[in-house]
A and B are shown apart, each in its own frame.
Chain A
Amino acid sequence: MDSLTQLVLVLLAATGFGFWFKRSRGEFRRKKTLNGPKLSPAAIGCELGSRVTMVQFSSAFCSPCRATQALLEDMVKTLPDVRYSHIDAESQLELVRELDIRSTPTTLFLNRDGVEVGRAFGTPKRSQVMHALNAIH
């Protein structure tokens, strides 16, 4: 394969990945079975919401994390049955491993019992967060 073909193929593959990646950010990925651990207030650093708790994992090396935090903190102000907790992944590695958090920001959506219903990767749009919240009863 000549180098121009190589280059074109590499860039095409990267472009495809890039579009897919962008589109998948913020998407609420629902778990098929609610078989995760019951997370306690002590584990996540806040009381559980009466309907939903959003737990965002961040790291120092992550500017989208700040945008996510700003959005979610703002949204919970008007949602009395939803709580938000923010966790620095590096300082909670055991939890990170237990929940298999691989990138930041990752936002977990817990039901009233503290069990994960689904999660979202990357900075979500407001509508994506509302969609996730509305799916949890």
Chain B
Amino acid sequence: MINIDARGPRFSAVITTVVLAIALLTSNIWVIAFQTAVFAIGALRGPQFTPYAFIFKKVVKPRLKSDPVLEDVRPLRFAQTVGLGFALVATIGAASGATGVFTVATAFALVAAFLNAAFNFCLGCQMYLLLVRATSK
């Protein structure tokens, strides 16, 4: 089992919230496409490999006084996967001119990131079991 410092993903959630807020404000496809790529790295490789995690490691972590909070990487990765799903839909919406789709999908991703950043809300805890229930016999 791989454990990572969970303060990293929490910091990344703050950056993600800002990026998605900008995406919502500007409707700029490059902003949402960029965030989609970040989520993709987080989902496919792991949240510890994203550019935001890199900033955390180099700039933020050395300045933190609190102790590392070690957590199983899998739920943190799951959260990135959920973000990727929303951001991908939003990007496709933006690319195809479906502004309603873009707005709603971006808003969902923003809310998830914001809840994690501000309230340490564990989206995986809420969604995972429901998904297992729905997809198993």
Contact = CB atoms under 8 A, between A and B. Distances in A.
Nearest to B75: A61
A104 B114 contact: no
Indicate the size class of the contact surface on chain B: 20 to 34
B128 A59 contact: yes
A84 to B, nearest CB: 20
A6 to B, nearest CB: 7
A6 B27 CA distance: 12
B4 to A, nearest CB: 11
Interface in B59-116: 71-72, 74-75, 78, 103, 107, 110-111, 114-115
A97 B133 CA distance: 8
Interface in B1-32: 6, 21, 24-27
B129 A59 contact: yes
Given A4-B25, A14-B114, A63 B132 contact: no
Interface in A60-107: 60-65, 89-90, 93, 96-97, 101-105
B125 A64 contact: yes
A78 B124 CA distance: 33
Given A11-B110, A63-B122, 15 more contacts: A3-B27, A7-B25, A14-B118, A18-B118, A59-B132, A61-B72, A61-B74, A61-B125, A62-B124, A63-B6, A90-B129, A93-B136, A101-B129, A102-B130, A104-B128
Interface of B: 6, 21, 24-27, 71-72, 74-75, 78, 103, 107, 110-111, 114-115, 118-119, 121-122, 124-126, 128-130, 132-133, 136-137
Return the 6 tightest CB-CB contacts between A and B, nearest first.
Answer: A61-B75, A18-B119, A61-B124, A61-B128, A14-B111, A62-B125
